[in-house]
A and B are shown apart, each in its own frame.
Chain A
């Protein structure tokens, strides 16, 4: 293994005098090199490229979902279209976008945003569908205007379902960003391509662990948000 590594000529930063570094040594050496490819910088890139699609996806899916509920006929075509988009593999979509947006983070962010919308539209529609009819009726009867009814009654009740969709979106966006490494914009995914080009396992392990950890943290934050936003859901379960 050691000979093979040397023969393949790995870059200097991965070499130490007496053999390949342990995973901890490797992390210490590469955490913050002051250059673009340090783990710290890649982590930052990764956060940006996964957070933007999550937030933008929600921002776009909410009005689209609301419109689909308001005008029922809109739902089938909208959901159908995004279903098709969702089925498109990310890599070729990145590739096709290069001719429009070039080799940039945007090329990764745009498709991920579309995937997010595809998951979130049904979540918004189902969430609003989970509002019991008698609740809606009594809100109308109490004299809520449609907008107030939406903001004060319907959206809060829809929150758990929407957040469940958002959890799926968050976790899959964070892991999907890494595919972008193939076109040179993959955040922590860059560790995978680098490790493959200079066969060396520790970066792969570090990349996988960090990405899974990021996903778990995002998921936990959303669970926490759900508890804070919808205290009644827990109260009902406890009783």
Chain B
């Protein structure tokens, strides 16, 4: 656990970057610092591994003040990932990853083996280990940055806007990858971003900081979206708060109808306005009007219990029928969530 106890950072010119910050980043959870530029989020992060020293207050790492630990020793026990990855251009990928193990005096073979294992862990071909950083794309470099931070298996990981320099598609896949890794590794992660969507997606807890380095709100993402503490947080969260909150509403209890499917070759006869055409092996093909005329129309799917209400609603809005297609792991149709069913679930969510 990382504890900020009334931490202040004041520069000699009088600017206050962080102002009496008190919060806890619990063990095994992702705590995100988010806020506009100048809110002191990066400064706060960098005070944990003493890249910057606090002016007042105390930062505790599992109860021990970091002030008492020699900075290089402290840092070797904390993974650190930064925006441009900061890979050493003169070293091969495998040696980049093995940097901290080398510093800790691991033997060469063990460090290399660990590096190779981590390459695979972060979703890269182990053959890339023999390349140099300039031969990798931005997204790949960032994955190596994560692998390098994990090399000595530190319990704590500090990530300073690690995904903000890559394009949106790569960013999404890096975020998913991080969530997958975290599910396996259960690190204590402190993550800095200016992107509230990223904060909500990745954080177990989100600390919203305001300019001048004061904590505006610390809450889990769902609470943050439904109960912003003040106008600043509300404005920072931006539009569509209601819709975005739906991503924390489960589709588990959603009522599904199984009587709205018809096989391929259906030629009309049912009284329903829309029916879902399903292939022989149970996959959705498209919506068809109840009288059997017209081709199959587009559809959207979600996985009940796994995807959020936001995904279900999105799936419903993609089809002319206004219904969302529920599918199982293999993509086979499990049922249909009608407008009525979605409506009931939304009403329930609004009450919660």
Are chains A and B touching directly in their complex (CB below 8 angstroms)? Answer: no
